[in-house]
């Protein structure tokens, strides 16, 4: 889900939510960790996740410069390829598979836009109930 922020206009609240989910996924999901390092096709998206999402989140929340510098360098080195397909799965339960998307076409078709809209609608329904 995390990498789908490409081509998606998100506010600060949504950005922080997605970034926190990214960190949670990396730290807690053994499937994610095992898959990430298996090939360049899975390692490259990890580099984009670090650069485009987690790095921005850490900068926004004033992480130490040495941490920012390390993640900046590591994320660039990890981006072996930039044309790959990625699976979109439920951010709350990553075991639920949804669909595969071409990273280079996310500006045209991006499931995270729909997901965030659904989350906002659910929040509104919960608030009203």
Q: Give the tens place of pLDDT for each residue, 97-120.
A: 567 777 777 777 777 777 777 777
Q: Alpha helices of 50-90 — where are they, by DSSP H?
A: 55-60, 65-78
Residue 35 pLDDT > 70: no
Q: What residue spans define the domains of the chain?
A: 2-128
Whole-angstrom distance, CA of residue 13 vs CA of residue 6 = 16
What was the pLDDT predicted at 59?
93
For the entire predicted model, the pTM comes to: 0.54
Least confident of 4-8, 11-15, 43-47, 51-55: 4-8
Report phi then psi at 88, rounded to 5. Answer: -105, 120
Whole-angstrom distance, CA of residue 43 vs CA of residue 75 = 10
What was the pLDDT predicted at 65?
94
Are 70 and 62 contacting, i.e. CB atoms less than 8 angstroms apart? Answer: no
Q: Which residues contact 33 (CB under 8 A, 6 or more apart)?
A: 26
Residue 129 pLDDT > 50: no
Whole-angstrom distance, CA of residue 129 vs CA of residue 90 = 24
Higher pLDDT, 97 or 83: 83
pLDDT-based confidence at 22, cuts 50/70/90?
confident
Least confident of 28-32, 55-59, 92-96, 116-120: 92-96
Average pLDDT value for the chain: 74
What is the four-CA torsion angle of 32, 16, 102, 118, rounded to 10 degrees?
100
């Amino acid at each position: 889900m995390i990498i789908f922020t490409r081509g998606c206009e998100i506010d600060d609240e949504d950005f922080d939510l997605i970034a926190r989910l990214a960190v949670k996924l990396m730290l807690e999901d053994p499937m994610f960790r095992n898959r990430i390092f298996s090939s360049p096709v899975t390692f490259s998206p990890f580099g984009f996740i670090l650069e485009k999402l987690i790095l921005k989140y850490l900068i926004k929340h004033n992480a130490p410069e040495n941490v920012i510098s390390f993640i900046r360098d590591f994320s660039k080195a990890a981006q072996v390829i930039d044309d790959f397909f990625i699976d979109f799965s439920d951010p709350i339960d990553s075991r639920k598979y949804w669909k595969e998307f071409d990273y280079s076409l996310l500006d045209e078709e991006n499931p995270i836009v729909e997901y965030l809209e659904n989350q906002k609608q659910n929040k509104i329904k919960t608030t009203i109930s």
